[in-house]
Each structure stands twice: as structure tokens, then as C-alpha cells.
Structure 1
Amino acid sequence: MTEAQASAGNARALFRVCLLAVLTAAMGFSIRTGVSGAIKAELLDPWMPMSSGEMIAATLGYSFLGFALSLLVISPFLDVIGAKKVVLFSSSSFIVGPLLILLSPMAGAGEAMYLMLNIGMIVCGLGWGAMEASTNPVTAAIYPEDKTGKLNALHAWWPFGVILGGLASVFLKDGMGLSWQLMIGLIMVPAVLCFVLTLPQTFPVTESTAKGVSFSAMIREPFRHASFWVFPAIMFLTASAELAPGSWVDVALTQTVGMPGILVLVYVSAIMFVMRHFAGPLERRFSDIGLLCMCCVPAAIGLYLLSLANSPVTALVAATAWAVGVCFMWPTMLAATSRRYPDSGPWGIGIVGFAGAMAIYAVLPKIGEIYDRAKLEKAGGAEAFAALLPGPELQEVLAFAAEKSFQAIAVVPVILFVIFGALWLVERRRRQRS
């Protein structure tokens, strides 16, 4: 399919809609992350102070569960449902999900409140997954000759949305004193705009459908190649190195580095926004797997340094290395899969994205569990921790917990370096033989 075939030369308009859909999901992610500390303090600390860290991590993880489920279900049926309807569903989810989060305190204290809070997060995740299930295949269909470049450009608007949401959290919530409820309500603004702008658009079919690949052939394609399943496995690890720490910075770093943790995420996102626009030339120079291999080194260094950060300067130095390491991982993994298995269409991309989302759903609660266990260990037990008052002693305990939680995840890029390095060598040898 050529660009001209997409909605009678309307490729740029379609791409702008895709960018706005990504922006909406990213702002939702950023704002939920930015207010997670406030939600924890207001709703969870009074109820379950000893396990509130694990609980807020699990709550944030539920958005990834919704993301994974909708991505897996929608992806193979994208052309049956229609990409336009999926984008509209995504926008609607970013209206309904925040409403449920806002209503959660009205459900009462304890389990009822926590259940509604989690359901709201799941609905937001459904919208996020629908966005991924639609915008990635549409972009690949519009720009089949530049998948790595355009998918990275598309996903550059993820960090841009994170920047907008993060700055809103800092300046509106922390600076002007707006409540976390008002911040959650802001998620609905770009969602409404995306819904309205999507209505008049006509979306193309996906690349595999345009090539005449039947539905059954598309479903079979990943199972015809044992090598395909290497990519979901790798995506599980790359997402753990990128999005899990990104969801955790506000909870873990705010009390330890002397600045709102969400600002670290904003800074990281600014670097990612710029660098993702250079993915195409870098991929052509080093190959997609070569690029991913090289990124693992700064990612590992950055995560380890984040565990040691105790000031704004050390946090930003660590974040710089981490950002350079992870900025290309998600979109380049999707492009690498699409390039090697084009007949798998949106189904193949969906499987890989599903693996990434499930990684965060599984990893975030574990990070929270490590954090809670470490803070109790440092304090000398649950009673000793409960007796701590705000001050240097509590800061020391929380710094120790943040250190342990980030060090646990820093080993992932090291493992990835070995995997990507092996794949890079294998593929280079195959090219040399041919």
C-alpha cells in the first residue's frame, strides 16, 4: 500500500489523528503516575499503611492489564472492526476510565473504593491498548518503506504527552494546589478532542489485508515461525526496563532526590521525544537489532544510578543515561517484528505489544513489594516504620527502599544486551552468507 492509497492522499491527516491518540494515552499515563503519590497518601495510606506501596504499584499495573487484554483481543480483528471504531473506542475509554477513578472515593472506604479505583485504571488501559492496536498498524500501512522511522516518530508523541501530563502534575497540582481529582479530570480533554477529530476520517486497511493475506493466514503466521516468539519474549524484558521504572519514579524518588519524581520522567521524556526522530537514520546505519543492542548499555547504567540518586543533580544524570538507553526500545521492537513477519499484520504487532504490557502488569507489583519489604527492613520492622515521623530518619528509610527497587530492575538491560548481541551476530552472518 502506498501513501496515496490511504484515504485518497489523506495520509498526513490520518497520521495526525494517530499522533493525537498516542498523546492522549501518554498524558493519561503521565497524570496517573504524577498523582499516584497523592492517591496513595489520601486513599491507601490511612487504610493499609504497611502495604500501600505494593497496592499503589498494583493499581498502576492494572492499567497495563487493560492495555494487554484490549491489545490482544483487538489486534487480529482490527480490519473486521475497523481502525476508526477502535480509535473512537480508545478515546471513549479515556473519558469513562477517569470518571470511575474520580468516583472511587464515593464508593466508601476499603475494598469497595480500591475495586472501583482499579476498574477505572483497567478501563484507561483498555483505551491505551486500543490506541496501540490501531495506530501502529495504520502507521505501518501508510509508510511501509519507513516503518522504523515513522513508528518512532509516532511514538515520539508518547514522551511529548508524558511531558505535558508531568508538567501539569507539577505546576497545577503541586504549584497551584489543584487536587488529584482535577488532574485526573484533565485526561478527558485530549480524549474528547481525539474523538471529534477522528469522526470525519477514513482509515486504510492494514498492510497484510492490502497484500491479500487472509484472516486465517494472518493468525497462523506467527505459529509458522518459531523465531517469531523470540520477539514477544524480548519485548517482555524491554518494557520492564522502560515503562515499569517510568511508572515508579513518582512514588520512589519524590522523597529521596529533593524534587518531584514526575519531573525526572518529564526530563527523560524530553530526551526521548528528540531522539526518536533520529531512529530511522540510526536503524539504517546499525540495523534495528544493532540499535537495540547498543541501547542496553546506557539503560543498565542509568537504572543503577537511579537507585543511588539522592539529589536533583544525581537523579538527572542517571535519568539521562536511562533515557538514551530506552528511548528506541518499544517502537523499534514493533518495527522489527513487522519487518520480519509482515504477513502477521496487526496480529503480530499485537502479540508483541501484549507481551510488553503484561510485563509491566507483572513487574510493577513486584517492584512495589521489594520497596515495601526494604523500607520495613531498614526501619527495623512494621511497628518501627509506623512510628517514624517525617524527617531525616524516614528519608533514609525511603531512600534505601528506592535503591533496592531500582537495583532489582537494573539487571534487565544487562540480560537484553546479551540477547540482542547474539541476534545481531546471527543476522549479520546470515546476510554475509546470502
Structure 2
Amino acid sequence: MDKQAGPPANHRSIFWISVLALFTAALANSIRAGAAGALKTSLLDPIDAQHSGAMIGTVLGNSFLGFALSLLVISPLLDRFGAKKVILFAAACFIVGPALVLMSANAGGSVYTMLNIAMIIWGFGWGATEASINPITATIYPNDKTGKLNTLHAWWPAGIVAGGLLSVLFFKQLNLSWQVLIALPIIPGIVLALWTLRHEFPKTESTAQGVTFSEMMAEPFKRPTFWTFFAIMFLTASAELAPGAWVDVTLTETVGFSGILVLVYVSAIMFVMRHFAGALDHKFSDMGLLWFSTIPAAIGLYLLSTANSAVTALVAATFWAFGVCFMWPTMLAAVSRRFPRSGPWGIGLIGFAGALAIRFVLPKLGEIYDNAKLVKAGSKEALDALQSGTPEMHSVLAYAAETSFQTIAIIPVVLFVIFGLVWFFERNRNTK
């Protein structure tokens, strides 16, 4: 098979279509987080108030399950399906997912089941997006993978900012229903579909270089070090995305303003910082950049657990933002650089690890949060007797938030050791 001589003539359009797809996925993710409290109160508290924290954690986590499943299935078959069809599928999921959430309000006793199905389908769109845009970007910019993947993924926090601000505007200023907010991602989903229809997409880098399907599938298993990165991504995603989906449920009660604004602030920092990733990668290497990132990430997550005002929340969020801003795209670039013959399958497996982590971490955070509420209240009966908005309930929820964030703050500490070891061994090997 002939190698590609260079990027296709429409590579800029392809890149911006990829940006829109990721922006839409992020907008949806932020809106889900922003509407989580309203969904919990309106749909899940009437069913089971004691376990509604774990239930909303499971609902939110199922978007990550859909993400993980579609990423795993689509990634190795990307060139067989064609990136164009995959992005069109993603656009369809961005339309169908929120539509089903809207319908769940009238689902009666099946509301919990329908919410979970809706979130899985919505997550399919996110997974299809990541399965296509990451290998395509690595293909059209082969000499600047870390820089361009970070630039692309800068639009993830941009979508988070947009969704977070819209959540605050709709709920706090305009006093609109959660249904209006949930419906918003349908609009960019339609635009994405129409724009994608106008363009053709290239084959991925590994296919263009003549790597066969069986060789691509076998590559991660022929090189066991690949699975080190799989395990690392499980942890990095837990440090970045799980707290982002959890802030509205927890911090709103502890810092005096909507927790989603913390996510907006963090995402704004990430949007700016990811544009500098290429230069930092050249200076420190991808592993060095990731190793440095774990320190502010750990400090930030711990400080979020103790935040009790707007000022302390923003200080904590600043540390956390600087810590996690490079993690996801740099991990993707690191794998593409070290295992190029694994192609979209290798990148997809790493994304799958990240998504799978969140699917398990979010419900676990919900359980920790619910258990902490019971511990602080003293008993189920005492918890049920507390009234929303009272100082006693505020104390219970603040303790639960502190406990859940302190638990997840352990993860960057573990990553500090792992990234340091990988960086050390790779530097020693390259100097011999």
C-alpha cells in the first residue's frame, strides 16, 4: 500500500470538524454534570432518597460506559467503517441521547432504567468521536502529535466552559427547567452531521504505512509495555474526569456558589494551557510533562476536599487545573509515538482504559458520599429527618464532599511514582 505523501488538502477542515465533535462531546459532558443535581432532585430522590447519590453516580457513569464500549469496538475498525461514517454516528448519538433523557421524565417507574440507557447512547457519541478524531489528527500532523492533540483537546475544556456557563445561566439567572438545558447539545450535533457530510476523510497513519489489520490488532500484545500505559491511563482519567463530573453534586453545598463554576474555571485554564503543550513536550518529554503534572493535581484535589468558600475553591481548582490539563491528550500522543503500528486500535485502547475507569470511579464516589452522609448524620433515620437547606444538612453534605475528594486525591500521588519511574527508565535507556 502506498504511503501518504502528506496531509490531505482539506486537512484544516477535517481538524475543525474534529474540534466541533469534541466540543459537542464536552458541552454534553458539562451539561450532564450541571444538570446532575436537578436530575437527582427531580427524578431520583422521589424513587430512593437514601441511595440517590449512588444512583446519579451510576447514571453519569453510564455515559462513560457508552464511551468505553463504542471506543473499544470502533477503534480497530475505524478504517473499515471510515472516519466519516463514524463521526456521523457520533452526531446521531448527540441527538438521540439527550432526547431520551427528556423522554425519561415521563417514563414513570422506568425512569432510572431509561436514564441509564440514554446516558449509554449519549456516551456512544463521545466514544465514536474519540475513536475517530484522535488517530485522524495524529495522521494529518505526524510530526507534531503532542502539540496538535493537545490543541485539539483544548476544545474539550472550551466545551466544558460553555456548558457550565449555560448551566448557571439557565438555572440561576433565567430559572429555566433542566429539560431546556439537556436539549441544547442537539443543536451542535445537527451542525456536526451537516458539516461532516461535505468532506472526505483520510485513512489513518498505520493503514497508510501498510500495517495490516491483524498486525495492528497484535501490536499491543506483542509489546507488553503497552499495558503499562493502559494502566496509567486508568488512573490519569480518574484524576481528571471523575472530579469534573462530581463537582456540582458536592461543592455546591460547601463553597457558597454553584460547583459547576469551579469546573468552568478549571476548564478555562486548561483551554489556555493545552496550547503550550507542544513546547513543553520538546523541553521535558511527554513523560516529564506528565510527571510534573501530578504534583499540582494532588494538591488541588486535596484542597478541594477542604474548600469552604469561593476563594479556597478557586485556589484549589487552580492547582488541580494545572495538574490535569495535559494528562489525557499527552497520554494519547505518548502511545501513538511509542506504538505507531497499533494505529487507532492502540489509541482506542488507551481511551477505553480512561473511560472504563470513570465508569467504576463515579459510582464508587457516590457510595463513599452516601456512606459519609450516614456516618455524619448518625443513622438513616436521622438523615431522613434532616431538612434541605438547614445548617445540619449542610454539615452532613460538606463532610460527604470532603471525604469523597480526599479519597480521589490519592490517585495523583500514585501517578507521581509511576510517571517518575517510566521517565527515569526511558531516559537511562536513551542515553546508553
| TM bucket normalised to smaller | over 0.9
Q: Does structure 2 conserve the Cα–Cα contact (< 8 Å) formed by 1:4 and 1:10?
A: no
Q: Does structure 2 conserve the Cα–Cα contact (< 8 Å) formed by 1:2 and 1:143?
A: no
- 2:309 aligns with 311
- 2:198 aligns with 200
Which residue identity does 2:40 align to in structure 1?
A: K
Quote the Cα distance in structure 2 between the aligned partners of 1:364 and 1:27: 19
Of residues 139, 145, 148, the one that matches 1:147 is 145
1:107-165 per-position Cα deviation (integer Å, ceiling 9, x unaligned): 113xx110011100000100000000000000000000000000000000000000001
- 2:60 aligns with 60
- 1:40 aligns with 40
Q: Does structure 1 conserve the Cα–Cα contact (< 8 Å) formed by 2:204 and 2:344?
A: yes
Which residue identity does 2:339 align to in structure 1?
A: Y
Q: Does structure 2 conserve the Cα–Cα contact (< 8 Å) formed by 1:95 and 1:187?
A: yes
Q: Does structure 1 conserve the Cα–Cα contact (< 8 Å) formed by 2:34 and 2:164?
A: yes
Which residue identity does 1:94 align to in structure 2?
A: F
Quote the Cα distance in structure 1 between the aligned partners of 2:75 and 2:286: 23
Quote the Cα distance in structure 2 between the aligned partners of 1:115 and 1:46: 15
Quote the Cα distance in structure 2 between the aligned partners of 1:272 and 1:405: 23
Q: Does structure 2 conserve the Cα–Cα contact (< 8 Å) formed by 1:376 and 1:385?
A: yes
Matches within 5 A, 1:96-111: 96-109=96-109
- 2:23 aligns with 23
Quote the Cα distance in structure 2 between the aligned partners of 1:113 and 1:54: 15
Quote the Cα distance in structure 2 between the aligned partners of 1:224 and 1:175: 56
- 2:425 aligns with 426
Q: Does structure 2 conserve the Cα–Cα contact (< 8 Å) formed by 1:208 and 1:342?
A: yes
Q: Say whether residues 1:76 and 2:76 are aligned partners.
A: yes
Could you tell me how far 1:46 is from its partner in structure 2? 1.5
RMSD (Å) for aligned C-alpha atoms: 1.0
Which residue identity does 1:413 align to in structure 2?
A: P
Quote the Cα distance in structure 2 between the aligned partners of 1:262 and 1:2: 46
Which residue identity does 2:86 align to in structure 1?
A: V
Matches within 5 A, 1:4-403: 5-7=6-8, 9-109=9-109, 112-389=110-387, 390-403=389-402
Q: Does structure 2 conserve the Cα–Cα contact (< 8 Å) formed by 1:303 and 1:322?
A: yes
Q: Does structure 2 conserve the Cα–Cα contact (< 8 Å) formed by 1:137 and 1:345?
A: yes
Could you tell me how far 1:2 is from its partner in structure 2? 9.4
Quote the Cα distance in structure 2 between the aligned partners of 1:2 and 1:255: 56
Which residue identity does 1:20 align to in structure 2?
A: L
Q: Does structure 1 conserve the Cα–Cα contact (< 8 Å) formed by 2:4 and 2:208?
A: no
Which residue identity does 1:25 align to in structure 2?
A: A
TM-score of the two chains, using structure 1 as the length reference? 0.98
Quote the Cα distance in structure 1 between the aligned partners of 2:21 and 2:43: 30
Which residue identity does 2:233 align to in structure 1?
A: M
Q: Does structure 2 conserve the Cα–Cα contact (< 8 Å) formed by 1:3 and 1:11?
A: no
Could you tell me how far 1:5 is from its partner in structure 2? 3.9
Quote the Cα distance in structure 1 between the aligned partners of 2:254 and 2:199: 47
Quote the Cα distance in structure 1 between the aligned partners of 2:211 and 2:140: 17
Quote the Cα distance in structure 2 between the aligned partners of 1:65 and 1:239: 13
Q: Does structure 2 conserve the Cα–Cα contact (< 8 Å) formed by 1:140 and 1:207?
A: yes
Could you tell me how far 1:416 is from its partner in structure 2? 0.2
Quote the Cα distance in structure 2 between the aligned partners of 1:23 and 1:351: 22
Which residue identity does 2:307 align to in structure 1?
A: A
Could you tell me how far 1:3 is from its partner in structure 2? 9.1
- 1:411 aligns with 410
Quote the Cα distance in structure 2 between the aligned partners of 1:128 and 1:154: 14
Q: Does structure 1 conserve the Cα–Cα contact (< 8 Å) formed by 2:239 and 2:324?
A: yes
Quote the Cα distance in structure 2 between the aligned partners of 1:40 and 1:129: 25
Relative to structure 1, the CA distance from residue 266 to residue 3 in structure 2 (aligned partners, 3 Å threshold; closer, same or farther) is: farther
Which residue identity does 2:392 align to in structure 1?
A: E
Could you tell me how far 1:386 is from its partner in structure 2? 0.8
Q: 1:226 aligns to what SS in structure 2?
A: coil
Quote the Cα distance in structure 2 between the aligned partners of 1:263 and 1:123: 27
Q: Calculate percent identity across the aligned residue pairs.
A: 64
Which residue identity does 1:349 align to in structure 2?
A: I
Could you tell me how far 1:173 is from its partner in structure 2? 2.2
Quote the Cα distance in structure 2 between the aligned partners of 1:72 and 1:255: 37
Q: Does structure 2 conserve the Cα–Cα contact (< 8 Å) formed by 1:2 and 1:142?
A: no
Could you tell me how far 1:422 is from its partner in structure 2? 0.3
Which residue identity does 2:349 align to in structure 1?
A: I
Q: 1:298 aligns to what SS in structure 2?
A: helix
Which residue identity does 1:88 align to in structure 2?
A: L
Could you tell me how far 1:4 is from its partner in structure 2? 7.2
Quote the Cα distance in structure 1 between the aligned partners of 2:53 and 2:302: 21
Quote the Cα distance in structure 1 between the aligned partners of 2:45 and 2:172: 19
Which residue identity does 1:385 align to in structure 2?
A: L
Q: 2:48 aligns to what SS in structure 1?
A: coil
Quote the Cα distance in structure 2 between the aligned partners of 1:230 and 1:106: 46
Q: Does structure 2 conserve the Cα–Cα contact (< 8 Å) formed by 1:3 and 1:143?
A: no
Could you tell me how far 1:43 is from its partner in structure 2? 0.7
Which residue identity does 2:350 align to in structure 1?
A: V
Quote the Cα distance in structure 2 between the aligned partners of 1:232 and 1:355: 6
1:10-55 per-position Cα deviation (integer Å, ceiling 9, x unaligned): 1111100000000000000000100000000011112111011111
Where do 5+ consecutive residues of structure 2 fail to align? none
Which residue identity does 2:156 align to in structure 1?
A: W
Q: Does structure 2 conserve the Cα–Cα contact (< 8 Å) formed by 1:4 and 1:11?
A: no
Q: 1:106 aligns to what SS in structure 2?
A: coil
Q: Does structure 2 conserve the Cα–Cα contact (< 8 Å) formed by 1:79 and 1:206?
A: yes
Could you tell me how far 1:384 is from its partner in structure 2? 0.4
